[in-house]
Amino acid sequence: MAAATQKQRPRHRARNPKRDTYIGLIVLAVGVLAFYLSLTKQIPFVGQGGRLVKAEFSEPNQIESGVTPVRVDGIDVGTVSSVNVQHGGRYGQVVMRITNGSIRLHSDASAQLKFRTLLGANFVVDLDPGSPSAPPLGPAGIPLSHTSVQSEWDDILRVFSGNTPASTRVDLKQLAAAVKAPQLGTVIDTLAPALAPVPAAFRALQGQDPGDLAGLVQSASRTVKTLGDAETSLQNLISGAGATVQATAAEAPALGRTLAEAPGALAATVSVAHSVEQTLPPLNTLIAALGPGATALGPAAAAADPAVHALRTVLNRTRPLLQSLRPAIAQLSAASGPGSTLVAELQPTVTRLNQQLIPWLQSNDSDLKRPIYTLIGPTFAALGSAASEYDDHAHVIHFPISPEADSATLVPCTLFVGAPSASQVANCASLNQILSIVLGGTASTGSARRGG
């Protein structure tokens, strides 16, 4: 019986201190691992996965490696892996680890560093993958021209100089004191009737159709994003606006005079407009009267079109001639001065020719009873006939004249009145021979002719 009782008694395993230590270490390691996973959401000693994407940001001081998330349309797709800040924080290269495999980045991708919430605090990298039609993003990543950083209140106050930031803090403190003052209740009671239409106004702001307010917010977001991307252009616009305002202020007196004279100018403009309006009915009548003529002008213009084309061809062909005439016209222009002088000097001769010579040529000869100009032709014909003879040296002018007894060309032996003596005949023959030799003729032994 005792042996049976001893067999039924449960057997207890002896405690092993080493095993308890191991179990405690394992439980502690599991707790540390769970705590690490809750903070980093990564399994230690295992690759982080995903792919790395580079992006350049201005003023990346608000980006923290391993903490700042990367989102696409509000959904986390990765985390900032590292930040390389340069130039005193004014520039930095950010490496993002994209763990969502469905994200495809393109060459026109952009990134914006902005607040996670409306109240600011932590930042998030809002990633825009770009257009699907664009090429894939290269290894250089997203350039600085495609990134932007949301402006903070301190960035806005930074453009002011002096005590503006301190004054802003004082204003905020005074605003808080004014809100706590007992007079605020009185102000609210006073404003309550005036604020009655506000709910209706807010309902009107929601739009008429579902999604109007969301569309308005999206449009405002795109506008603000565009303004943030064009920070330099916005600064230039503000600077230009400041210069414009200064120029306007400098011309304030002139603008005042212009505004003072504007009513009179408007009145004159109204008067002119009335005058123009009165001319419209006659003008309409004239246009109506010109209508048939304009209609008939169409066929005439069509008929004249070939002539115009032909004339164009002629003008094109005459262009070289006109270009060649340019030097001649220039020379004629240079010769116009001497030519006008010559014409002025010829004026008396032309006047004498017109008033004296031409009337004399038209008059009748007293002997022949014929116009003198009809005698010029035969005279020159006789001269031409007289000069038609020539010898080895030159022309010999032979005038066919009737000799007379007292002609010098016949003295002393060509013609004698009466019967010449023998000595006269001999002398005439000798003289004729000498004259023939002197005048270039042939020596002859002709005798004297008798005249009756």
pLDDT in the model for residue 105: 92
Q: Which residues contact 362 (CB under 8 A, 6 or more apart)?
A: 371, 372, 373
Confirm if 125 and 111 have CB atoms less than 8 A apart: yes
Distance CA(449)–CA(420), nearest Å, equals 9
Give the pLDDT score at 452: 39
How many Å apart are CA 183 and CA 201, to the nearest integer?
27
Q: Which residue in 389, 388, 363 sits closest to 375, CA to CA?
A: 363
Q: What is the DSSP string of 235-260?
A: HHHHHHHHHHHHHHHHTHHHHHHHHH
Q: How many residues comprise the chain?
A: 452
Are 172 and 80 within 8 A, CB to CB?
no
Question: Mean pLDDT per segment of 10 residues, for the chain of length 452 residues?
Answer: 49 62 74 65 58 87 85 88 82 89 90 76 86 91 88 63 70 74 71 74 68 74 74 78 82 83 85 87 87 83 86 86 83 82 85 83 79 74 67 61 46 53 72 63 46 40
Instruction: Give the strand pairing for 51-57 and 91-98.
Output: antiparallel
Q: How far apart are the first and last CA of the chain?
A: 229
Single-letter amino acid code for the residue at 347: Q
Q: Please give the structure tokens belonging to residue 439.
A: 């005048």
Q: What DSSP state is assigned to residue 395? A: E
- Three-state DSSP class for residue 320: helix
Which residues are bridge partners to 75 per DSSP? Answer: 72
Which residues are within 8 A (CB) of 165 and not within 5 positions of it... i.e. 6 or more apart? 154, 157
Residue 289's Cα: distance from chain center in Å?
43
Q: Crossing angle of helices 183-194/164-180, nearest 10°? A: 90
CB atoms within 10 A of CB 98: 21
Q: Are strands 415-417 and 449-451 parallel, antiparallel or unpaired?
A: parallel
**Integer Cα distance of 14 and 12 in angstroms:** 6
Whether 111 and 147 have beta carbons less than 8 Å apart is answered as yes
CB burial string 337-370: b at 16+ within 10 A, e below? eeeeeeeeeeeeeeeeeeeeeeeeeeeeeeeeee
Angle at 105 between CA 103 and CA 108, to 5 degrees: 145
Distances (CA, A) of 140 to 93, 110, 214: 11, 13, 36
Half-sphere exposure at residue 335, Cβ-oriented, CA atoms within 13 angstroms: 8
pLDDT at 37: 61
**Alpha-helix runs per DSSP H in 353-421:** 358-362, 373-386
How far is the C-alpha of 92 from the C-alpha of 84, rounded, in Å?
Answer: 5
Indicate the SS3 state at residue 122. Answer: strand
The pair of structure tokens assigned to 314 is 């002629």
